[in-house]
Amino acid sequence: MGIKRWWGPTFLILAGLQVGCSEISRRETGENMMPKIHPEIWPRLSSPMAEDPDLEARIEEMLSSMTIEAKVGQVIQAEINSITPEEIREYRVGSVLNGGGGWPGEKKHSTPQDWLAMADGFWEASMDVPEGEPAIPILWGLDAVHGHNNVIGATLFPHNIALGAANSLELIREVGRVTAREVAATGQDWNFGPTIAVARDDRWGRTYESYSEDPEIVQACAVAMVEGLQGKVGSEDFLGDEQLIATAKHYLGDGGTDKGVDQGDTLASEEELRDIHGAGYVTALEAGVQTVMASFSGWHGTKVHGSRELLTDVLKGQMGFDGFVVGDWNAHGQVPGCSNESCPAAINAGLDMFMVPQDWKALYGNTLEQVRSGEISLQRIDDAVRRILRVKMRAGLFERGKPSSRPLALRPEIIGSPEHREVARRAVRESLVLLKNNAGLLPLAPDARVLVAGDGADNITKQSGGWTITWQGTGNENDEFPGATSIWEGIRQVVESAGGTATLSPKGRFDERPDVAIVVFGEDPYAEFLGDRDSIDYSPRSDRDLDLLGKLRTEDIPVVSVFLTGRPLWINPELNASQAFVVAWLPGTEGAGVADVLFTDAKGSVRHDFRGRLSFSWPKSADQVVLNRGDKDYDPLFPLGYGLAYGLEKSIGEQSEVKARTERASRSVYFQGGPVAPWQLYLGVPEAPAIAAGSGRVASPGSNPLVIRGVDHRRQEDARAVEWPGEVAGRVYLKSAEPVDISRESNGNMVLAFDVAVDTPPSGRVMLGMGCGEACGAEIDLTGTLSDLAVGEWQSLLVPLRCFADEGVDMSRIDTPFSISTAGALAIRFSDVRLATVAEEGIVCP
């Protein structure tokens, strides 16, 4: 295929290193621990679409003329760059997807024509069938989770958390309608959204994809978005040319995982599962959502992909769902006994379509075998195909024709059109939440001298968050957002046209004293598990933004903070240092919506008031990681529903800046500047107790000791130099009494990364280890890697976590994430020990 992939066995040339790595191995999980589900206590629903006998007869007729091969093809969904039209024809594959940052031909700058050309190729292949077999148009799904976010130039909306705060269902409907139009213009039919997770622990990396912590708000937003995307059931345009098929995801309990771990385990009771996490499904199903995506997560130890109770008994049985259930990205491979390439258990549990990006061919072959052998019953596969055909028919796919011939495909100019951008700009305005406005600093007069600071001010990447052009939303430049406006740009326009002066200085420098400073800062983009946090302290390890606010405050310049964030975070110090504080969430491409609200018109009248109200409770202390309306001791800084408006402000006093002790060890940062507490650095030599190493010189006992001392890499003493004498075995390692669970990071292809410079190359074997408690752990050989490094030069080494998992390290209880040992002579310097993701680059196993 000639396509570069980073998920398979692959080679990487990194700073001159080339090392191979073997396939991921799966760890079997424990037996089924799921408590019993009682379908009868779940809401009894029926499909809102009156049964259509003609349509059902058409489905039956089609089914009866399909071969088993063709049926199995329908239940497979492959990734667009991992399958060719030729293969679609050959295997009669029913669906394709592009994931976040999946573009036609892996070309980031693909044009609408490139998207359409690819869609046409797939469509034509699907319609080209042997005599006597029905032609079934292929279905292409993607994540348009805040607008058509994989396409350069599209209108990108604020993420769901902001829409939840905007408090207008009519707005959400509009956002859905515009999103559907832009996607239809590039030829796709199906959106993997809305996410109707009810995020309960703000450490979760997908909190911003959730409308609210409150099930009632999610219920309402779910209907609005489903109707915006699909149209209203019974109306003329339902699933028409300008609409998409919607997906309610991720069923069920994705927002309720223990400790907010993405793809983790939800420990709610059955009633909580129904009333909190299930609430949005009730209304989404009533609004006619046609597909449901199964969640990666589990419930009491059983992965949803393998749960017949949840998929079949509750969803399809009790709740009457007659569309189809699609899996999530290789999530079936996490069901006990399954792999990415084989999983009869998921189909038997009620999954109707596998999302199997790369390994589709093997999965197709195995599934076909399993149907032939009866391991998957013909009845079950027929039911899955029937559901897929039903949705394809309802969506009019059989009549729509070639993607490029469809009405909106002929009008690519609607992508990012002024009309669409206006909807997004309105969404930005209406989602801003005013937390503080002491002495009525806001609204500002536009003819003032305004300093605009902070690293988010002129940074469309940062203001857009994850799922923006790339999966993680990182690696994009402002000029890759044609037609978009940064927050700074919106401010500049308003101020300059009123005769004021606006100056941009991310670091807050100025020559002439400004009347006011607007500081835009906050979280950097992330998606999925890479956004999981250990703490909800906004900035536990850096005071950069606070220093900037403090500097302006010392100069007596009034400060308006504009906070970019995907979740509520503990920001008391930043709040205290600001006279006014606005939460802008992740507003997307129309940054001008911020200035619309911050500034009056030339005559001093408010142009747009603040309308946003918190749809998540805001913490007063960083240990309030689970803080939801209705909690027993609910004690937020700002409750759900809070949000000031002009003229209705109250003064907000100083808040406590005492940092809550975050007991939990960081799962991803172990050494940065020094060991990150509670991680500690130790020296170990045989027969002696561990020696804790600070930044000064520490040596092991004896005449020829192992020595460690602090040295400079990027900053003062942010690295350690270690010298092994070559006569005694010695080890330097990071350890904490509190182990961390990094199994998700390991499954997710993350790497252990550290910076290293070799000063004396190894004279003996050097091992890199990870430990998982008493008598648990493994080491891998690093000798070759270190010997190959140029002496004295800093390099980053990346070692896939799965290299350790493959050696039997239990990733769910790591207490020693990093250890280097040798009995030979060796001198190295190291710094920055952390987990990292290596998006396109590839992976290494020493």
Residues that bind ligand BGC (CB under 6 A): 7, 99-102, 143, 192, 249, 328-329, 471, 528
Structure tokens at 768: 């890199």
In the complex, the smallest distance separating the C-beta of residue 166 from ligand BGC, rounded to whole angstroms, is 22
Q: How far is the CB of 291 from ligand BGC (least distance, A)?
A: 11
Clarify whether 528 is annotated catalytic.
Answer: yes
Task: Assess contact for 184 and 151: CB atoms under 8 A.
Answer: no
The whole-angstrom separation of Cα 507 and Cα 485 is: 20
Residue with tokens 């101020």: 495
Query: Between residues 100 and 587, which has the closer beta carbon with respect to ligand BGC?
Result: 100
Nearer to ligand BGC by Cβ, of 101 and 215: the residue is 101
The residue type at 265:
D
Least gap, CB of 192 to ligand BGC (angstroms) = 4
Catalytic residue among 313, 528, 723, 779: 528
Do 513 and 553 touch, CB atoms closer than 8 A? no
CB 285 → ligand BGC: shortest distance, Å? Answer: 19
- Closer Cβ to ligand BGC, 143 or 523, answer by number: 143
Q: What is the DSSP code string of 162-226?
A: HHHHHT-HHHHHHHHHHHHHHHHTTT--EE---B--B---TTSTTGGGSSBSSHHHHHHHHHHHH
Distance CA 24, CA 57 (A): 45
Q: How many angstroms separate the CA atoms of 481 and 416, rounded?
A: 10
- Active site annotation includes 631: no
| C-beta separation of 827 from 45 below 8 A | no
Sheet holding 501-504: strands in order across? 433-437, 580-585, 559-564, 516-522, 449-453, 501-504
Closest CA to 501 of 452, 456, 455, 556: 452
Considering the complex, state which of residue 351 and residue 376 has its C-beta at the smaller distance from ligand BGC. 351
Residue 173 near residue 159 (C-beta atoms within 8 A) = no
| Tokens 């669970």, residue located | 741
Is residue 120 within 8 Å of residue 187, measured between CB atoms? Answer: yes
Tell me the residue number closest to ligand BGC, measured at CB. Answer: 99
Q: At what angle do helices 53-64 and 378-394 cross, to 10 degrees?
A: 130
- Nearest CB to ligand BGC, comparing residues 249 and 735: 249
* CA geometry: angle 804, 806, 812, nearest 5 deg: 65
Instruction: Supply the minimum distance, in Å, between the C-beta of residue 193 and ligand BGC.
Output: 8
* Amino acid at the residue 143: D
Token pair of 808 as six digits: 């039997």
**Residue 400 to residue 140: CA distance in whole angstroms:** 14
Q: Catalytic pick from 309, 328, 489, 723?
A: 328
**586: its two tokens:** 């992740």
Among residues 101 and 112, whose Cβ is nearest to ligand BGC? 101
Cβ proximity to ligand BGC: between 329 and 618 the closer is 329
Shortest distance in whole angstroms from residue 102 CB to ligand BGC: 5
Closest by CA to 563, choosing from 635, 612, 497, is 612
Residue 473 or 573 with smaller CB distance to ligand BGC: 473
Which are the catalytic amino acids?
A: 328, 528
